[in-house]
């Protein structure tokens, strides 16, 4: 059966033009005027865009003594409802655990996924086994990105030595290292001091993780990547110091990418001063929300191109779970939701305000990350042969964000009460209409794992440069006898 999206304006990362889009067998088969098919979706007044890709989610993640509450069913349903048609989640081996075993555990969570998904693998410890398994992960399992936590001391954190080993291995395998960049040693000491001083509320979470510790770690990871000859992807870039390090590295020719979150772009640190403990604790995430200057820096990075991707780090805990940390902020599970709201919030606060263009919106929500993770143009494109993961975006549709009407399984929404204008009229996953305005038509199990090959053009360019500039022994004649 063929479907035609008619009368819309196709908006991609570099073009906007009037055309119909024809779909067959889950793929785009034709783009042009006056197309017809078995089923017609009316896109009058709408933009037809590549579906969003959220490269940073934690669905059913074991963390801080509990599990994040959205699983691959509710999480991907939330994603589709907001126009996101693919998520990339993190497989997290416990320190000492086999990467392959962890991957099987994560794979077992996905049978009810409503949209396509992929994984990054985390490196949480280092050994010969990890070194060897990284090759299998890349070459046999279709995962070309490895995440490193520079924070969460005593749990997921790795040190510089481990990162340097791992980044060098990524360079050899044609993979992309990623970092959660915060100086975990300093955070741990600051947490202990704040608690000892009686500062135990959720606001102390933010006090313990100032922008400087993120800036320092971002810069350190950049240097380690440069020494290793690998690219680098910095997740949840939240502040000017980290952005500045990324900007400088890029100006110096390094292949470094930065990913602000929609939460950091639109919510600020005043949330932690709320007298309601639950309100503040629900917004505890790492890095914490920052001030308006940091937000302006992130917005500027998106329009200037020094930051490339907007994600959510969707890691949703219920109010009851957040209350594990009453009396000790270090026990509040870190994480917030956002999957359903990323695209409408970014459109409302980005495109509608003139901070970014429609084409930049597509770039930072979909196309850039499809290229960085080596799945373009299967994903992130409106081209013949691409997957029909599409959103028909109605720039006039409005709603007020509310936990009462959301798809996410948690009992609140950090964007509660925010008015958004710009919402999906239709979201299609693999050509299937999953969302029709407010009607949810998702199909459990529709989502499939997306394999990603190693050796992007960037990896190849970096290894060529590394070879050419490698230290070489100077060939000498007439070496004098040793002076003994
Ligand atoms: N960001 C956060 O607070 N929770 C999820 C885990 C992580 O990405 O650090
Ligand atoms: Zn993180
Ligand atoms: Zn995360």
Q: What is the pLDDT along the chain (484 residues), one digit of tens a residue?
A: 999 999 999 999 999 999 999 999 999 999 999 999 999 999 999 999 999 999 999 999 999 999 999 999 999 999 999 999 999 999 999 999 999 999 999 999 999 999 999 999 999 999 999 999 999 999 999 999 999 999 999 999 999 999 999 999 999 999 999 999 999 999 999 999 999 999 999 999 999 999 999 999 999 999 999 999 999 999 999 999 999 999 999 999 999 999 999 999 999 999 999 999 999 999 999 999 999 999 999 999 999 999 999 999 999 999 999 999 999 999 999 999 999 999 999 999 999 999 999 999 999 999 999 999 999 999 999 999 999 999 999 999 999 999 999 999 999 999 999 999 999 999 999 999 999 999 999 999 999 999 999 999 999 999 999 999 999 999 999 899 988 7
Kindly give the number of the ligand 1 atom that is closest to the alpha carbon of 56: 8
Query: Quick one: pLDDT at residue 298?
Result: 98
Instruction: State if residue 286 touches ligand 1 by the CB under 6 angstroms criterion.
Output: yes
Look at residue 386 and tell me if it is in a domain: yes
Each residue of 90-121: pLDDT tens digit? 999 999 999 999 999 999 999 999 999 999 99
Instruction: State if residue 334 touches ligand 1 by the CB under 6 angstroms criterion.
Output: yes
Nearest ligand, CA of residue 148? 2
- Residue 247, phi then psi, degrees to nearest 5: -60, -50
Query: Quick one: pLDDT at residue 483?
Result: 80
Look at residue 43 and tell me if it is in a domain: no
Q: Please, what's the b/e burial string for 79-115 (b: 16 or more CB within 10 A of its CB; e: otherwise)?
A: bbbbbbbbbbbbbbbeeeeebbebbeebeebbebbbb
Instruction: State if residue 226 touches ligand 1 by the CB under 6 angstroms criterion.
Output: no
d(CA 345, CA 45): 20
- In this structure, which residue's CA is closest to atom 9 in ligand 1? 286
Q: Is 211 within 8 Å of 241 (Cβ atoms)?
A: yes
CATH code assigned at 239: 3.20.20.140
Look at residue 441 and tell me if it is in a domain: no
CB proximity list for 199: less than 8 A, separation 6 or greater: 207, 329
- DSSP string for residues in 45-57: T-EEEEPEEEEEE
- In this structure, which residue's CA is closest to atom 1 in ligand 1? 286
Which domain range does residue 384 map to?
49-422+447-462
Q: Is 208 left (phi over 0), alpha (psi -120 to 50) or beta?
A: alpha
Domain count along the chain: 1
- In this structure, which residue's CA is closest to atom 2 in ligand 1? 335
Query: Quick one: pLDDT at residue 339?
Result: 98
Look at residue 16 and tell me if it is in a domain: no
The pLDDT mean for the chain works out to 98
- Residue 24, phi then psi, degrees to nearest 5: -150, 135
Look at residue 309 and tell me if it is in a domain: yes
Look at residue 69 and tell me if it is in a domain: yes
């Amino acid at each position: 059966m063929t479907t035609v999206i008619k009368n819309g304006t196709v908006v991609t990362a570099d073009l906007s033009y009037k055309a119909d889009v024809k779909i067959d067998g889950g793929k785009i088969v034709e783009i042009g005027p006056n197309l017809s098919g078995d089923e017609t979706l009316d896109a009058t007044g709408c933009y037809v865009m590549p579906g969003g890709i959220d490269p940073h989610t934690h669905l059913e993640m074991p963390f801080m003594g509990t599990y994040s509450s959205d699983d691959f069913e509710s999480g991907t349903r939330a994603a589709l409802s907001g126009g996101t048609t693919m998520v990339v989640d993190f497989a997290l081996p416990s320190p000492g655990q086999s990467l392959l075993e962890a991957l099987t555990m994560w794979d077992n969570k996905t049978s009810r996924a409503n949209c396509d998904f992929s994984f990054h693998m985390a490196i949480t410890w280092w050994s010969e086994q990890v070194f060897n398994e990284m090759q299998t992960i890349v070459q046999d399992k279709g995962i070309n990105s490895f995440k490193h936590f520079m924070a969460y001391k005593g749990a997921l954190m790795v040190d510089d030595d481990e990162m340097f080993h791992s980044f060098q291995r990524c360079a050899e395998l044609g993979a992309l290292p990623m970092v959660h960049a915060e100086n975990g040693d300093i955070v741990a000491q600051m947490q202990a001091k704040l608690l000892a001083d009686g500062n135990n509320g959720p606001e102390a979470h933010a006090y313990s993780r100032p922008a400087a510790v993120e800036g320092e770690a971002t810069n350190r990871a950049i240097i380690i990547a440069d020494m290793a000859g690998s690219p680098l992807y910095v997740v949840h870039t939240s502040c000017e110091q980290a952005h500045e390090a990324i900007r400088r590295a890029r100006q110096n020719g390094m292949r470094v990418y930065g990913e602000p979150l929609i939460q950091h772009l639109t919510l600020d640190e005043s949330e932690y001063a709320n007298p309601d403990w639950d309100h503040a604790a629900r917004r505890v995430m790492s890095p914490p929300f920052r001030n308006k200057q940091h937000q302006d820096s992130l917005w500027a990075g998106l329009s200037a191109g020094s930051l490339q991707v907007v994600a959510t780090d969707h890691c949703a805990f219920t109010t009851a779970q957040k209350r594990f940390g009453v009396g000790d902020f270090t026990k509040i599970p870190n994480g917030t939701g956002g999957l359903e709201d990323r695209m409408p919030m970014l459109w409302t606060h980005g495109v509608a305000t003139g901070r970014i263009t429609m084409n930049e919106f597509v770039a930072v929500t979909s196309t850039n990350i499809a290229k960085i993770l080596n799945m373009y143009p299967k994903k992130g494109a409106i081209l013949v042969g691409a997957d029909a993961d599409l959103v028909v975006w109605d720039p006039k549709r409005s709603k007020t964000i509310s936990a009462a009407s959301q798809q996410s399984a948690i009992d609140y929404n950090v964007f509660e009460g925010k008015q958004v204008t710009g919402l999906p009229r239709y979201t299609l996953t693999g050509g299937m209409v999953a969302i029709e305005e407010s009607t949810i038509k998702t199909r459990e199990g529709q989502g499939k794992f997306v394999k990603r090959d190693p050796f992007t053009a960037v990896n190849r360019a970096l290894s060529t440069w590394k070879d050419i500039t490698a230290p070489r022994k100077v060939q000498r004649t007439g070496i004098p006898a040793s002076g003994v």
